[in-house]
Structure 1
Amino acid sequence: MQLIPNKTFALQTDLGLYCRTGRDQPETSIQEHTFHYRRLVYNIIKDTMKTAFPIARKLIGKKRWKKSVAYFFENHKCETPQIWKLPSEFCEFYEKNPFPFKKEFPFLKELLQYEWLEIDVFMMEDLPVEKFKTTRLSKKDILIPNPEIRILPLQYPVHIKKIKQITQEDKEQYFVSIHRDYYTKQVKFNDLSFALVEMLIRINEEETSIFDLENLFSKYENDTGKTEKVIDTFIDFALRNNLILGFKNN
């Protein structure tokens, strides 16, 4: 028997609610199999979260992690149809909802964001890159950035310190770049100072030469010789780590 559209939608809604909560099992064409839907859907969610957040899961322990995922599954109406994007919604859900261990792990929100961004960057679409050369001719050359990058500001060093060794005394300003290598397509991470972040943002937002970077950095250092040395070191570092791909010769 074919269901009319509004009844079909109602059944889908009821089945989705049942899969999330385990309550009010709807009538389906094969009733004895209905309970399997919830188990299968929940296993997909559970495995996705386990894969996405291995460090966070280890930090809070398997029992609390299991309860957290179940709480999310039962109370969150998923917005994305793509299962790999669901960890992003978990990050938002954690931030907006009460969890009993939030005070115990004040850096967990940032850890979840950090782990999610590794997935986000790895899965992001290929972005267009301007043609570039690997050698520079002068300080007037325009720096060509790797656009497949995210920069995450942090209050805790979740990217550089063993997670169980982080304490309240570590709280200060940190920055980490998460980018996809142009050649290998692997995700890489770099700890950055605020000055380096400012330079990377400038390079990604507008055409920027080495002269421009020296002028930008001059507000941190009055000595011209030291500024030039810092910029040279930064460019070498950025090229080596694939944050800058090359140059456009002017």
Structure 2
Amino acid sequence: MAVDFKVKQAEFAAYIRDPLASPAPADVDPERMAVYRELFFNNIDGFLSSNFPVLRKICDDQQWQTLSQAFFKNHRCQTPYFSEIAEEFLTYLQQHDHGDIFPFLLELAHYEWVEMALAIAQAEPRYADAALIAGLPHQQLSLSPVAWPLVYRYPVQRIGPDYLPQQPPAEPTCLIVYRDQDYQVHFLLSSPVTYRLLQIIAEHGALNGAQSLQLLAAEFPQFDSVMLTEQGSKTLIDMAEKGIIVPAAKL
């Protein structure tokens, strides 16, 4: 009788994912299947450990095994590329609540994923030159595709074995993560006002610096508009020099 390859493949995969719930293929040596299973799992577990080093460090072995085994067992990856396993793990965490381990777990995982995601991003922005920086009030601006303004409930950049908050602080944490011209990824602690300025630039697409600051001042009437514009102008220069804001694309 001919072997149905698809059936055999499904049996093999089911056992690899969850040997407690699925029997090993009848015609394969159990010890060999156990070796296969260990190799598969350890490979995935190794990638997760290297891509999420802080999360791995703050989890005890049981907590980490719970996460990695559950991902290995339950998630159906949509990509064959090892470089995208971290994003698949993040997707799994977004779909399955593991807040009983740490309330900040999802935010920390996202924070750790961002660095690799930007490092391998294919976008190649046209960075600002001296002329753009000198004429920022009148130049049309865009947010770099490799600059991500982010807001977290928890101060994820501080989390580690010595700091494991159980409640979020009163104020959110604003970060700007960006890749520079040398392909180095940087994390910049920001303020809600600067975060909103970058949002305005991203949302409107082709505002110049002066227009962006006018909209910002209108949203923060509690601040002196002259002082806000002066500080905002300095912020725009700093953001352009870092490559966070870039010249708007010509249509």
Give the TM-score range, shorter chain: 0.7 to 0.9
Q: What does residue 81 of structure 1 align with?
A: 80
* 1:176-195 pair list within 5 angstroms: 176-181=175-180, 183-195=181-193
What TM-score, normalized by structure 2, do the two folds share? Answer: 0.81
The question of whether the paired residues in 1 share the 8 Å contact of 2:75 and 2:92 is answered with: yes
Q: What does residue 130 of structure 2 align with?
A: 134
The 2-side partners of 1:131 and 1:28 are apart by: 60
In structure 2, relative to structure 1, the CA distance for the partners of 1:192 and 1:138 (3 Å cut) is: closer
Q: Which amino acid aligns with 1:49?
A: L
Matched residues, percent identical?
Answer: 23
Superposed CA deviations along residues 213-247 of structure 1, whole A, max 9, x for unmatched, are 22112122563431331122211321343212468
The 1-side partners of 2:26 and 2:130 are apart by: 64
Superposed CA deviations along residues 184-230 of structure 1, whole A, max 9, x for unmatched, are 11211122222222221333341121111221121225634313311
What's the secondary structure of 1:159's corresponding residue?
Answer: helix
Q: What does residue 12 of structure 2 align with?
A: 15
16-25 or 221-230, which deviates more: 221-230
Q: What does residue 147 of structure 1 align with?
A: 145
2:135 counterpart of 1:117: no
Q: How many pairs does the alignment contain?
A: 242
Q: What does residue 42 of structure 2 align with?
A: 43
Q: Which amino acid aligns with 1:227?
A: L
In structure 2, relative to structure 1, the CA distance for the partners of 1:61 and 1:35 (3 Å cut) is: closer
State the Cα RMSD in Å: 3.0
Superposed CA deviations along residues 49-72 of structure 1, whole A, max 9, x for unmatched, are 101111111112233212321222
In structure 2, relative to structure 1, the CA distance for the partners of 1:215 and 1:69 (3 Å cut) is: same
Q: Which amino acid aligns with 1:13?
A: A
The question of whether the paired residues in 2 share the 8 Å contact of 1:140 and 1:209 is answered with: yes
Q: What does residue 194 of structure 2 align with?
A: 196
The 2-side partners of 1:68 and 1:190 are apart by: 29
What's the secondary structure of 1:218's corresponding residue?
Answer: helix
What's the secondary structure of 1:88's corresponding residue?
Answer: helix
The question of whether the paired residues in 2 share the 8 Å contact of 1:107 and 1:156 is answered with: yes
Shift of 1:45: 0.6
29-38 or 237-246, which deviates more: 29-38
In structure 2, relative to structure 1, the CA distance for the partners of 1:171 and 1:77 (3 Å cut) is: farther
In structure 2, relative to structure 1, the CA distance for the partners of 1:179 and 1:21 (3 Å cut) is: same
The question of whether the paired residues in 1 share the 8 Å contact of 2:142 and 2:247 is answered with: yes
The 1-side partners of 2:177 and 2:88 are apart by: 19
What TM-score, normalized by structure 1, do the two folds share? Answer: 0.81
Q: What does residue 216 of structure 2 align with?
A: 217
The 1-side partners of 2:47 and 2:2 are apart by: 34
Q: Which amino acid aligns with 1:151?
A: P
The question of whether the paired residues in 2 share the 8 Å contact of 1:140 and 1:210 is answered with: yes
Superposed CA deviations along residues 79-124 of structure 1, whole A, max 9, x for unmatched, are 322222222332333344354xx34621112101111122222222
Q: Which amino acid aligns with 2:154?
A: Y
